A and B are shown apart, each in its own frame.
Chain A
Amino acid sequence: MKTTEFIIMILYIGFCIFLAFYTQRKISSSASGTDEYYVAGRRIGLAVNSIAILAALGSGGSFMAGIGTNFKLGLPTLAWMTVASICGFALASILVAKPLRNSGKYTVTEFLTERYNSRFIQVMVPIILIIGSGIYLMSQMKAGGLIASYITGLSYEWGLVIIALVFILYVSLGGMLAVTWTNVLQGALMILLILLIVIGGLVNAGQGPISFFASTTKEYEHLGKLGVALPLAAGIGAFVSWFTAPSVIPHLVMRVFTAKDVYSARLSMNIGMLIYGTLMFTSLIVILPFVPELGADTLKNTASDMWLLLIANKFFGPFIMGIITAGIMAAVMSTTDALLLACSASFAYDLYGKVINTKASQKQLLRAATISTWVIGILVMLITLKPHPFLIVLYTAAVGFMASGLFPPMVLGIWWKRANTIGASVSMVVGSVLFMILFLGFDMPYNTEILIALPVSMLTMLVVSSLTEKPSEETIAKMEQYHTGII
């Protein structure tokens, strides 16, 4: 066991759990408990929301697995996958943020249900979100399990079980308020993590970072060339997945609902991404050249997701390593908690409160949220005991699935007055089912399923809506109000 790292990690996790207990008491005593639990009272300011967005996106996949995956799969594909989410937030800030924030809703499902006034959509959207977020969650739990195993010396399986229980405990207690507060701490830790590793890299490089990078890319030609490890289509598929995802996937969209106003919501998305892009680019250029120095045996026998930690281990002693490990754990936790909360909101708020028990009291809703967090969390943990080899590929598939089913109904529903219930319903089914068929039934290159599923879903929505009845004037007037903000 790595004792110093272990103590720092316990202190950090203990603080997160304390925060969850504290916020639970605050939520229980508040008259607007549901508002506090799901959207943190809608009063999160620009700076806090920006850091929380950085923390929700920056995950085990990007900060921990990024370096290893770049080395294995090549830079061009991963460069476009990373920039896609940065552009995706810019896209979401102009396409969906304003109407969503003006609507005063809690969840994506609630917004789409109102737009299309349909019981089918009310049930279908949470199902898509729970499946998609669940797959995404697996990748984060895998990262958590790997870190816990690295620190404690226990097996991956035991590391996973311990860390999953911690994640579930503090999300089930504190809801969005706890998630927001811990995300700020986590975002700050992530910035510190990258700063430390980059400084370590610069000190240990022995030459300028650019020439070190160039000599590595010269020696390992596969890094910089297109189509060596992955075909171009995989890069385009990854780009489309992450470009469209921030407009629909709930653990990112929820930051629009928590913002104090429209301007703050839109700006915080881009400020968060500017910080994210800077961290990702700097760490890539400085740290990637150290990968070959791990040695052929280590590269062969260790999961590529762990390489960053192994590199950092060469630079620092146990104390700094403890902070770095806590930073990586923060990246994992911040995405995991947001995802768990999104799953729980989809079940408890959208399915239980709006379909199964429409007369549920606030207490019953909060209890349903707690129970669903535990059930979904444990289920995902059990599946993650046998994980996919690449974190990034796995969660890109998850966001591709959600975007294929939900991007056309969301964006066309906001901008196209002709978008109607039947068009949205058929498009949702076609997009999500087609994606799953392609993902499970065909041996396609990584992340290319969306290149078929999304256009088909979009076309279906346009054609079916055009051929069927227009939505009511009342629905169109409501959307007009959400665009103008005059409600």
Chain B
Amino acid sequence: MLNKKNWFSMPKRELFLLLFLIIYPIVFFLPWTYNIMILNVTLLAWGAYALYFLAPIVSIIVLSSEQRTIETDKKTNVSI
């Protein structure tokens, strides 16, 4: 099931983005955030509000850099 050959590969940057999208919520859902209050609102909620901006901005950066790599590779292949 977990044999590497059985999976299609994912570009490294996208894999890190995937891990970020999964690990960030897990970290904030852990009990350490429940009783830390900012403006009388739990840090759990502020963690989500930060992600409103972080998730799309990080994704745009990753996808744009991925695209630049693809375009550079294409140009290199053509010139070769």
Using CB atoms and an 8 Å cutoff, list the residues of chain A in contact with chain B.
75-76, 79-80, 82-83, 86-87, 89-91, 93-95, 210, 213-214, 217-218, 221, 223-226, 232, 235-236, 239, 243, 263, 266-267, 270-271, 273-274, 277-278, 280-281, 414-418, 462, 466, 479-480, 483
Contacts and interface: CB of A to CB of B under 8 A. Distances in A.
8 contacts: A76-B44, A90-B58, A90-B59, A225-B42, A243-B21, A277-B55, A278-B53, A418-B1
A79 B60 contact: no
Given A86-B55, A224-B37, A270-B60, A418 B42 contact: no
Contact of A277 (B5, B37, B56): B56
A82 B59 contact: no
Interface of B: 1, 5-8, 10, 14, 17-18, 21, 25, 29, 34, 37, 39-42, 44-45, 48-49, 51-53, 55-60, 62-64, 67
Given A82-B52, A86-B55, A281-B53, 14 more contacts: A76-B48, A79-B49, A80-B44, A80-B48, A82-B48, A83-B51, A86-B52, A90-B17, A90-B21, A94-B14, A225-B42, A416-B6, A417-B5, A483-B8
Given A86-B56, A274-B53, A75 B18 contact: no
Contacts of B62: 94
A94 B49 contact: no
Contact of A214 (B5, B6, B34, B39): B39
A273 to B, nearest CB: 4
Contact of A414 (B8, B29, B53, B63): B8
Nearest to A463: B1
Contacts, number: 125
| Most A CB within 10 A of own CB, among B56, B60, B64 | B56
Contacts of A274: 53, 56-57, 60
A424 to B, nearest CB: 15
A417 B6 contact: yes
A83 B49 contact: yes
A45 B49 CA distance: 29
Given A224-B40, A479-B8, A79 B48 contact: yes
Contacts of A93: 59, 63
A223 B40 CA distance: 8
A365 B23 CA distance: 45
A134 B68 CA distance: 41
Contacts of B1: 418, 462, 466
B41 A281 contact: no
